[in-house]
Chains A and B, each alone.
Chain A
Amino acid sequence: MIHPFNKKPEKKTAILIVGSEGVGKHALALDMLKTEHPFELNIRTAGCLPLPSEKAADRPRLDFICFVIDITKPDSFKIVKESLQHMDVSYCLGKACFIVSKVKNTNRSVPLESIHDLANRLSMQVLFGDLQNEAERLHLARRLVSMLHLSAGLQCCGSAPTLVNCVIDFPVQTDVHTAEPVSSGIS
């Protein structure tokens, strides 16, 4: 069972992408790394849950889980439904989402209603977008990164443009915290 609070929070964030083979998890992960993110990003992918127990200790705390459903493949939906049983319920609100791919395809075999039903029951978000399409994938990646940012608790206050002006003029004693993007890796 994966739990969001059973490990200490770290400076880096971790997101887990769950989905059957060939749905485009890795392409999505690479796009997420391409987007601008002012924090260290650790992306993991899995075919299904539960994750193997032997490496559980090495694994970072997972801040966000997204389940990819390919709407043309009933299997991918089945896998996601089964995987959900191995996820703690505290992920549901705000720390997990479904991604529904290929919704514009003509031969849908998973009814949209059942996905919406499942999502409503668990109060999870559903994002739509074709993982095969580059523009849509990038758009999805951006949305995922911003959701991860929130769920990892890293949201910080922005600074006003005029205030920056003022800081530059004043002699500043304390260090100004600059949030530089840290090198990120995919595993």
Chain B
Amino acid sequence: MSSKQRNPLNDAVNYLVTADSKLRIKGNEALHKSLEVIERTATSLGLSPDQILQLVDVAASGKQGETVSKKLIKLLIPATKVPETAVLKAISWICTNRPSMTIQCLLIRWIIVVYDYIDRRDRLHGLYGLLFRFLHFHSLLPYMCQLLYFLTRREDVKLYRVRQLLELQKNLGQQPYLTGLLLIYKHYQPGLLSVVINRNYKSLFPTYDRKWGAMVRLIQEKSNPLERSQNDTVLERLQPKLDTSYMAAASKRRKLDCIPDIHSNASRADFAKGGFSKLNLLNGTVVPFVHISTFGKLLESIDKIEFPNQMGAVLKSRLLQHVISYSSDKVAVTRFQFWLQATLHEVLLDYPLENGNEYTARLLRLLKSFQDFLQEGIPVLDAVLSSYICQWNGLDNRCLILKLLARCRLHQFSYFRESILNPLGKLFFSSAVYFKCQTIQALTDMLQNQVAVERLHHEELVSYQTQSDINTTKSKPMSVLFWEEEGEEDFKTVDFVREFIQFVSQLCLVALQCGRSHPLLEHCILNFLEMASFLHKCYQVPFVVFPPASLCVRLLFSTNPYTVSRLCSVISRFKCVFQSLKMQQNTGQLEGRRNESFESVTEVNKTILCLINALWRCKAFDHSEEARQMEELSFSPELVDQRIGVDCGEMLSIYHHQAFSCFTYKFIKENTLGIKHPTEIKVCKREFLGYLERHNLKGLNEFVSSVIIRSKPSTTK
């Protein structure tokens, strides 16, 4: 049955093959019928290798005329594989120059389309020199370039070929296909090509027959759905199947992607020949990382792992990240830093690809996750980022850049301000509110990271260095991966944190002044202040830094009730921190740094007094007491009182404050105390405070109860 089914195709092929002379086209029903049969089979199932071999001869010889040959070549769609001989035959027909130029072009295009399905390519590659000669035919040039692009191996790159190509480029101008071929040459032998290659092309080979290629792929997938799993070589099965989503998608020569794949000296050829790698495997001396697929295997051979050829691959594999962080191999770390510096320079600073944005974003994302995994910043990354933000448009990969900046290493503040904070500040001032909020959020994260993580690293490194002065045997810093033998400056973290908070507070103050009191901005600023107040409690920092009073006062004038309430709770939290530090000092738990923190106590007291005077005691602009915080508003309150006929000390009290006026209004409407006017709330402030607390404004009550609880408020601390 099956033999009968296959008959018509075989007949058709035989008919074409056996025809000696040129067949008549017009009115020749046999020819049309056989072509039709071939077309139907080729476009549904594909042709077998034998049939392709037979038909190539017919088509390439051109003896059946242009139309038939063209049609036949288009139909040479392989069901499984294309025999190499068929390709060689096609090339030898081209060499005879018997078929017309169109047919020659079409034959090369066919080879390009089926290139992936050619069973062997060694003999084809043997013709490399010959194929190179064809570059002189201008009509073949674009296709030949692509074919050579596929075929080129390292040993093919020769100086005279480079010269010829450059000569061609000189004559023809910059053509994408020539650039493509030169790129692969440069990739293999960067020493031979000193020219800068502009790779701003969307596609290097626009002449590629996409439709045809898609058709061939479709037929291939249809006829061998399991091809991939069957053809897996031993090595491929051994390779770690990590993040296969993109590893499968990456083709051999994708240049845009700057992160290398994991590969090793134990390459495919070596492994197949049973070369040294197998020997090493047996001896158990070195295990290339490519042979490790599971965590269990990793644990088995953790002391013998050989890192891959390109350290950039670390970013792609979580397993490798485990290895590098465990082994803390100095050479591997240096190699990674070199790679990272070169890649980042290329991607961000020197030649940012116009369409490479997604690759850059992926690189940054992977770096972010690597940093999160290591729990430390990478010094090289900091250096590149600091020069990048000087030319950053504030738009590209904004979230990632800010997150990476937040993971910065701890440096001396003067250096830190010059390299990161000042450029960031310039962007900050010229940007919209939303960018400001994001930046302040990033600075908050930065503060947390510096204090919680990098401070400990820094202390370990400094102690390592001082230790080295005394005795020769020293333990390496265990928690840090990226470190140098020397060069870690010794400075006090408290100085850094104080100056950092000062700087950010100034930024916030300016942002509040010029960006209106934007609720989101105020929220971010309060987040920052909260973080500053948490430092002692959460990260056991033996000091506390109080933000400038001017920022607190500015936030007090906000029109947002929640801002004022949160401000109060932040201030009362600071008060608690100071009290607990004082307690520690009295019990002797605190060493050394106590003086620095307590220098600001008077300022804290003033700020607290100022707030409580304004909000609670109706003495907002009182100059008589020691609270002179409002000195900036240097006007005589009495004068204002006379002018407007209201006691202006009351203007900022909780029931008159602009932020709470809506609550005042509602309180008066809902109350049962018979109050008609806000001023009357003065006698029942406690009830109003409770009312506010019921509306989630808890900070006020917290603040008032922490300060007013005693008969003599605030000054006793």
Binding site for B on A (CB under 8 A): 97, 100, 103-104, 106-107, 112, 116, 125-130, 135-136, 139-140, 142-143, 146-147, 150, 155-163, 165-166, 169-170
Contact = CB atoms under 8 A, between A and B. Distances in A.
A147 B430 contact: yes
A170 B392 CA distance: 48
4 closest A-B pairs by beta carbon, nearest first, are A160-B559, A166-B662, A158-B516, A129-B393
Given A129-B395, A155-B514, A160-B560, A170 B665 contact: yes
B560 A162 contact: yes
B352 A142 contact: no
A161 B519 contact: yes
A163 to B, nearest CB: 5
B517 A158 contact: yes
28 contacts: A106-B196, A106-B200, A107-B198, A112-B390, A112-B391, A125-B430, A127-B430, A129-B393, A129-B395, A139-B393, A139-B395, A143-B394, A147-B430, A155-B514, A157-B517, A157-B559, A158-B559, A160-B517, A160-B559, A160-B658, A162-B560, A162-B659, A163-B662, A165-B662, A166-B661, A166-B662, A169-B665, A170-B665
B176 interface: no
Contacts of A170: 665
Contacts of A156: 516
A143 B430 contact: yes
Contact of A142 (B429, B432, B514, B662): B432
Interface in B512-556: 514, 516-519
A23 to B, nearest CB: 16
B351 interface: yes
A113 B429 CA distance: 21
A127 B391 CA distance: 8
B426 interface: yes
B393 A155 contact: no
Chain B interface residue number, banded: 20 to 34
Nearest to B659: A160
B661 A157 contact: no
Nearest to B558: A160
B20 to A, nearest CB: 59
B46 interface: no
Contacts of A126: 426
A143 B517 CA distance: 18
B392 A128 contact: yes
B99 interface: no
Nearest to A157: B516
Contacts of A160: 517, 519, 558-561, 658-659
A180 to B, nearest CB: 17
> Chain B's interface: helix, strand, loop or mixed, by majority?
loop
B431 interface: yes
Contact of A139 (B394, B560, B561, B663): B394
Contacts of A165: 662
A146 B432 contact: yes
B632 interface: no
A166 B665 contact: yes
B354 interface: yes
Contacts of A158: 516-518, 559
A58 to B, nearest CB: 30
A142 B514 CA distance: 15
A69 B475 CA distance: 54
Interface string B368-411: 00000000000000000000001111110000000000000000
Contacts of A125: 426, 429-430
Nearest to B351: A106
Given A135-B395, A163-B661, A104 B352 contact: yes
A106 B179 CA distance: 16
Contacts of A161: 519, 560
A42 B559 CA distance: 32
Contacts of B432: 142-143, 146
Interface of B: 196, 198, 200, 351-352, 354, 390-395, 426, 429-432, 514, 516-519, 558-561, 658-659, 661-663, 665
A163 B514 CA distance: 21
A128 B396 CA distance: 11
A135 B395 CA distance: 9
A159 B429 CA distance: 22
Contacts of A155: 514, 516
Most buried by B among A130, A146, A165: A146
A158 B514 CA distance: 11
A107 B354 CA distance: 13
Contact of B393 (A107, A128, A157, A166): A128
Nearest to A35: B432
Contacts of B431: 143, 146
A162 B516 contact: no
Given A161-B519, A163-B658, A163-B661, A116 B390 contact: yes
Contact of A162 (B354, B390, B662): B662
B170 to A, nearest CB: 19
A97 B661 CA distance: 41
A70 to B, nearest CB: 15
B202 to A, nearest CB: 15
Nearest to B387: A112
Contacts of B662: 162-163, 165-166
Contact of A163 (B394, B426, B559): B559
Contacts of B514: 150, 155
A98 to B, nearest CB: 11
Contacts of A169: 665
A130 to B, nearest CB: 8
Contacts of B393: 103, 127-130, 136, 139-140
A100 B393 CA distance: 9
A136 B396 CA distance: 9
Given A106-B200, A129-B393, A163-B658, 17 more contacts: A97-B430, A106-B196, A125-B430, A126-B426, A127-B430, A128-B391, A128-B393, A139-B393, A155-B514, A155-B516, A158-B518, A160-B517, A160-B558, A160-B560, A163-B662, A166-B662, A166-B665
A69 to B, nearest CB: 12
Contact of A103 (B391, B426, B663): B391
A96 B514 CA distance: 17
A22 B326 CA distance: 56
A10 to B, nearest CB: 21
A5 to B, nearest CB: 20
Contacts of A135: 395
A50 B354 CA distance: 36
Most buried by A among B393, B431, B432, B558: B393
B84 to A, nearest CB: 40
Contacts of A104: 352, 354
A104 B396 CA distance: 11
B665 A159 contact: no
Nearest to A149: B514
B659 to A, nearest CB: 7
A62 B479 CA distance: 57
Nearest to B661: A166
B559 A136 contact: no
Contacts of A128: 391-394
Nearest to A159: B559
Contacts of B560: 160-162
A143 B665 CA distance: 39
Contacts of A157: 516-517, 559
